[in-house]
Structure 1
């Protein structure tokens, strides 16, 4: 009898640990990843020949990054993992996963599926954010890690969450000029959440130390008003201090982000049910503690729970263990990982409460503010669509095109839900979640036609 075919989507910390666990059990998984080299976003690797060392790229996390990279590279070199890089899973059919990459399109058959798709930036619209030169914090970090490039000469970072502080410190360490770091979370919320964050005291203290390095650049509890821009990009960001004093900070680049948003499109296509999580202010898939969606389909990493890189490693091992158990094969003991998962979740919930999603700011956006950058849909158009068709996400999408663009709602869905809820007198949970549709990534027509011909 042949071994079961296991497909892992994603080669970040969760996907790497899942692959390692399966290989230890005698299986040879296929790992499809959009990156050229394994590591995911947090441990993203630069091109071969890039001279900046891991200590510069990853800071105190460099030993973890080196270890993960070495594990995966060894498994591939030994022929124990089939790695399909620079490739996207676009959807699923009865014959397998539809994959598009540099060599074209293919259907990858599988018996068991582990989705370790990670997370993307969670963005809140701001008047002027559609201008060139306005990036997400993740894009800012990718440019720095992958190419050693700061995307501006005078940079303002705005949003909230650990990534805001981390990216600011990384830019400063690389020699970039960071004019201001504007955090919409008030210091009072951060202080109230401290007990939860002390579930991981080393990380909490590391965050305090990074904050201290920012000095007077850092401002908490701010109100963001608008990005002033000309044809070439940002000119200034207008904001108010926690005490209400109006400010204008000159800049030529703005990076924005409010922590992370779980990447869940493939989970939805795989049959996941979702619950609106009030702590994280987003829809998260419903699984058991080990990430089992159902026998044969498993979720791991930030695409399931926003727990960061360490949590993703734990989740990857748990998903692989659940997969092995469902195959009837010996699985590793998961008691220690489940206990660690509890501690990681306490810390993550503390982070979520310390740096909340700016719901009030989003709900008060002026009508002229672009909400969906792909389609150019404004807050006013969105509100008018609610008046015409009701306060339900998919109804608003079908009538007003919100979420129909290139990102398929990845960057606008959460903000749109806030606006729909506020205007319709309901809650984001009642507004609902946009239905997932394949292909989950933009793809050329030729490969899509080839996939159709294959199955």
Structure 2
């Protein structure tokens, strides 16, 4: 009998552990990933010849990163896993997954699919955030890890969540100049969440240690008023501290992010259903404890549950085991991973409570503030379309073009839902979720027209 064709999308911690689980069982999965080298965002690897050691790139997680990279590389070199690098899955059809690869557009057939696409930054608009020089925290970290580059000479970081502290610490350690680290989460809210955070005391202590290294640069409970800038860049951030005192922090670069947003477009196109998470203030896929979304489709990693790198590894193993079980093959015992998942979810709940989505800040945006950076849609335009067409996300999208740009709503969907709900007196979950549209990444029209089926990646 021919072995089933199993495709894994994503070569971060979740995708690597899923591939390992399947390879140990004697299967040879195909792993499709956008990176040149496996590792994902958290364990992103620099180009060959990069001289910064792993300890400088990954800090206390260097040993984990090295082990994960080694596991995947050995599987590929032994021919037990097929790796299609620098490739993006754009959507699905009955023929398979449509992917943009270095050799052109391809259709990759599969029998079972594991989606491990991770997460992206969760962004909230601030007046002036459309100016050049405003980046997400994730983009800031990618530049530092992949190229050893700080994106500014005077840096202000703003938002909330563990990534805010981590990126600030990493930049400082690399020698960058940080003017301010502005956290919208009040200190009292963070302290109240400690019981959940103590589910992983080592990580909680590590975060507090990094926070202490930031010193007076770090400010909790701030209000962000405006990013000052012009056509060629940003010049300052205007904000108020927890006591209401106004400040102006000069800068030539701003990094922003409010924890993470699950990357779910491919999951939606593959047929997953979604539920609104009050805890995370976003739509998350509906799955069982092993990551089953529907027959033959499994989800793992931060694109499913925002649990970080360790949680992604656990979810990857669970998805791989579920895939084996559903094929009638011997699967590893998952009881230990399920127990570990419970612990990680308690910690994640503490994170969500400590660093909440700034709903009130978004709803208080002035009419002139830009909501959708891709299409230049302002708050007043969005409100006008709600008044005209009703408070449904896809209707407002069709009338205003919010979410129609290059990012396809990744950066503006949650804020737009908050504004639609505020205008109509509804809850964000009542507004609905934007429909997923292929291609989920920008793609060349010529390549799409020439797409042809293939049983796997080209030898090149």
TM-score range, shorter chain: over 0.9
Paired position in structure 1 for 2:422: 422
Q: Find out whether 1:367 has 2:367 as its counterpart.
A: yes
Q: Does the 8 Å contact 1:32/1:85 carry over to 2?
A: yes
Match of 1:382 in 2: 382
* Separation in 2, partners of 1:259, 1:450: 39
Partner residue in 2 for 1:216 = 216
For residues 78-115 of structure 1, the C-alpha deviation after alignment (integer angstroms, 9 at most, x for no partner) is 11111000000000011110010221011111000000
Q: What is the distance in 2 between the residues matched to 1:320 and 1:159?
A: 35
Q: Given that residues 371 and 415 in structure 1 are in contact (C-alpha distance below 8 angstroms), is that contact kept between their aligned partners in structure 2?
A: yes
Q: 2: distance between equivalents of 1:332 and 1:295?
A: 20
Alignment correspondent of 1:98 = 98
Tell me how far 1:295 sits from its aligned partner.
2.5
2:249 aligns with 249
Task: Write the distance in 2 (CA, Å) between the matches of 1:286 and 1:311.
Answer: 17
Alignment of 1:101-112 (within 5 A): 101-112=101-112
TM-score, scaled to structure 2? 0.98
In 2, Cα distance between the equivalents of 1:187 and 1:378? 31
Distance 2:372 2:257 in 1: 15
Deviation track 1:5-40 (CA, whole Å, cap 9, x = no partner) reads: 100000000000000000000000000000000000
The DSSP-based 3-state class of the residue aligned with 1:128 is: coil
1:129-278 equivalent positions in 2, closer than 5 A = 129-278=129-278
Counterpart residue number, 2:439:
439
Q: What is the 5 A alignment of 1:40-119?
A: 40-119=40-119
Residues 452 and 435 from structure 1, CA distance in 2 versus in 1: closer, same or farther, beyond 3 angstroms?
Answer: farther
1:42-94 per-position Cα deviation (integer Å, ceiling 9, x unaligned): 00000000000110000000000000000000011111111000000000011
Length, aligned pairs only: 455
Q: What CA deviation, in whole Å up to 9, does each residue of 1:382-422 have, x standing for no partner?
A: 00000000000001011111111111100000000000000
Question: What are the superposed Cα offsets for residues 414-435 of structure 1, whole Å, 9 maximum, x if unpaired?
Answer: 0000000000110100001000
In structure 1, C-alpha distance between the alignment counterparts of 2:34 and 2:260, rounded to whole Å? 18
1:441 & 1:448 partners in 2: Cα distance?
A: 12
Report what 2:458 is aligned to.
Answer: none
TM-score (norm 1): 0.99
For 2:70 and 2:63, the matched residues in 1 are separated by 11
The 5 A counterparts of 1:381-420 are: 381-420=381-420
Find runs of 4+ consecutive structure 1 residues off by over 4 angstroms: 452-455
CA distance in 2, matches of 1:268, 1:255: 29
* Corresponding residue of 1:17: 17
1:450 paired residue number: 450
Query: 1:231 Cα shift?
Result: 2.4
Contact 2:105/2:452 (8 A) holds in 1: no
1:295–1:323 Cα contact (<8 Å) kept: no
Residues 36, 86 of structure 2: 8 Å contact kept: yes
Structure-2 separation of matches of 1:74 and 1:367: 55
Q: How far is 1:453 from its partner?
A: 8.3
Partner SS state of residue 315, structure 1: helix
Q: Answer whether contact 1:262 1:305 (CA < 8 A) is retained.
A: yes
Tell me the distance in 2 between the aligned counterparts of 1:444 and 1:187.
47
| SS of equivalent residue, structure 1 residue 181 | strand
Is contact 2:371-2:377 (8 Å) kept? yes
> 3-state DSSP class of the match of 1:266?
helix
Secondary structure in structure 2 of the residue aligned to 1:120: strand
Q: Is contact 1:18-1:317 (8 Å) kept?
A: yes
Q: Which runs of 5+ in 1 are unaligned?
A: none
Task: Please say if residues 33 and 88 of structure 2, whose CA atoms lie closer than 8 Å, have aligned partners that are also in contact.
Answer: yes
Q: Secondary structure at the match of 2:446?
A: helix
Deviation at 1:188, TM superposition (A): 0.6
2:198/2:204 contact within 8 Å kept: yes
